[in-house]
Amino acid sequence: MGLITNGVFDRNPKLKLILGHLGERIPYDLWRTNHWLEDVERPLADSRGDTISRKPLLHYFKNNIYITTSGHFSTETVKYVCDYIGADRILFSVDSPYEKVEAGAGWYDKDQENLTKALGGPQQYLDVGRENAKKLFKLGKYHDSDA
């Protein structure tokens, strides 16, 4: 949050950050945190001439921040984050060595129908599974890149 509130993304709008564990619980407190920032912190900072972020927190989550599924193999939780921030900001991830690849990939494959609905459709399911990461990391063709 310090990167956001201290204006790092305002000064470097192309900078990208990846948060694990479905956003480290930040998406669930985003409204309250933004409310506090807008109504208390920003007016105080402006009155003192301090640097503070200029846009609502959600702007940075939709433009600078990606969120991974690492360690959170819950379709309901993914749906919440997707509805709030968007499928284009979510990356499939496992959190190895703390979670087993088989557990994460098993969840993603076995719950494909529900995840597809939660994410907004078949393209979003593929995007979260691999295409968002390929785009973010500018990955070209590689073995099984279209599997």
Q: Is residue 88 annotated as a catalytic residue, yes or no? A: no
What's the DSSP call for residue 99? S
End-to-end CA distance of the chain: 36
Contact by Cβ (8 Å): 15, 9: yes
Active-site residue, selected from the candidate residues 10, 29, 50, 95? 95
Angle, to 10 degrees, between the axis of helix 26-36 and the axis of helix 75-85? 30
The contacts of residue 86 (CB under 8 Å, 6+ apart) are: 62
DSSP 30-76: HHHHHHHIIIIIHHHHHHHT-----S-HHHHHHHTEEEE-TT---HH
The backbone region for 99, taken as left when phi is positive above 0, alpha when psi lies in -120 to 50, beta otherwise, is: beta
Query: Could you give the residue numbers annotated as active site?
Result: 95
